[in-house]
Amino acid sequence: MVRACKIILITVLAIFVAQPCFAAKNDSLRITPVVRAVQKASSAVVNISVTRIVERGDSPFKLFGGEAFEMLLEGLPVPQRKYRSQSTGSGVIINGRKGLVLTNAHVLTGGSDIKVKMINGEEFQAEIVGSDADFDLAVLKIKGAKNLPQVAMGDSSDIYIGETVIAIGNPFGYTHTVTTGVVSALKRTVKSKEGAFTDFIQTDAAINPGNSGGPLLNIMGDLIGINTAIQARAEGIGFAIPINRAKRVVKELLASGRVSPVWLGLSGQDLDQGSASYFGLSRVYGVLVTDVYKETPAAYAGIHPGDIILSMNGIEVQDKAGYLGLLRVQTRSEDVDLAVLHDGKVRNIVVRPQSLDLRQIRSQAWSRWGIVVDKDSRGRGMLVGKVRKNSGSARLGLQPGDKIHQIGNQRVSSQQDFLDAFLRYRMNNKVMLKVQRGRNFYYVKLNS
């Protein structure tokens, strides 16, 4: 009897002692590569809240509506009311020592107060170091924080279609939400109201509003992309900016606060059915090169007037607007692959874009449009300062003192707005301007 009791006691003790081992074994099965990746990176993911102060004028005539009333009341005092709005997004710390956070530019647009919240609940004020809407990327600096956790940088050049990826963010305000999926496709182009975004990673990991700016991780927990909730109504489709492109953009944002615009050194025009047939194209697309400037990438690459640019980085160029849109999302440190029709044969050309500084852009605007503009300290719009003789602006009748409010679809209220508009419409033979002279407003076409 005593012996039997001893055996039972020993058995119970053995089970009791072995229980932690079973638990440890079970835990080891549960801690999958996804779990390890999340544990490795989640402390570097932050919640970003942005407060915006919006001013709206409460005009007593607003019930009448219409642009005619807007023009009529231009310059008249209208009571302004300030409204506070708040939105949230995600970000990821890329330099813990300096407190640098990478996120989407659209997360911060119009923000006057930016706060960053860590996974442990700590909250800090942050300021924008640099932002560029064309690339939808921005860098924040966390104030008063040092030695923070940071994500491990990955490499987006060797991503496999079908490999497992993990998204972490704050969709709909639910902080540090983890979703998983696979890489569905690479080098996707997505069009939105802001323009065309290229070279996206496509994934089926859920990316919703609030995820914007958060990390896309590989199974090792390394950062391979920045999530962008650009298709609000898409289900099962998410997009991320490849980290290798983001690295190039970050380098410029840290150096100057913005990404330098680039060009290849050529001008062009759209084709019509007749010219497309003449050049042997089965349909109308591409850009016909009309001018190539000396000592530019296009000149060095052997591109000539009469050539037709058919594609850029594998994406078909539909027209001038499409060409400029694709060029706007290139940096000066990445090559551009062109398919060019030359003497009836398609040539594949690799060129490195050339950066354009503000002085060069102003010079080109003076040469092509024939105007110099200055800020109007008394209100919105840009004042025409100088008009070049025999230019398109002179033939149109623009005079110093006229005020330009809009170029094409872009409102103009700063020197940067004017230069951005020029870059967007510089190849257009005609562009619509909204001009104010005295109290009168006119819509006029500038022929360049």
And the tokens for 75? 């310059």
Cα separation, 136 vs 68, in Å, equals: 35
Q: What Cα–Cα distance (Å) separates residue 145 from each residue in 88, 111, 149, 225?
A: 21, 21, 11, 25
For residue 364, give the 3-state DSSP assignment: helix
Q: 170: closest CA among 52, 237, 84, 87?
A: 87
* Residue 70 CB neighbour total at 10 angstroms: 13
At residue 41, φ and ψ (nearest 5 deg) are -110, -20
3-state secondary structure the chain: CHHHHHHHHHHHHHHHHHHHHHHHHHHHHHCCHHHHHHHHHHHHEEEEEEEEEEEEECCCCCCCCCHHHHHHCCCCCCCEEEEEEEEEEEEEEEECCCCEEEECHHHHCCCCEEEEECCCCCEEEEEEEEEECCCCEEEEEECCCCCCCCCEECCHHHCCCCCEEEEEECHHHCCCEEEEEEEEEEEEEEEECCEEEEEEEEECCCCCCCCCCCEEEECCCEEEEEEECCCCCCCCCEEEEEHHHHHHHHHHHHHHCCCCCEECCEEEEECCHHHHHHCCCCCCCCEEEEEECCCCHHHHCCCCCCCEEEEECCEECCCHHHHHHHHHCCCCCCCEEEEEEECCEEEEEEECCEECCHHHHHHHHHHHCCEEEEECCCCCCEEEEEECCCCHHHHHCCCCCCEEEEECCEECCCHHHHHHHHHHHCCCCEEEEEEEECCEEEEEEEEC
- Cite the active site residues: 106, 136, 212
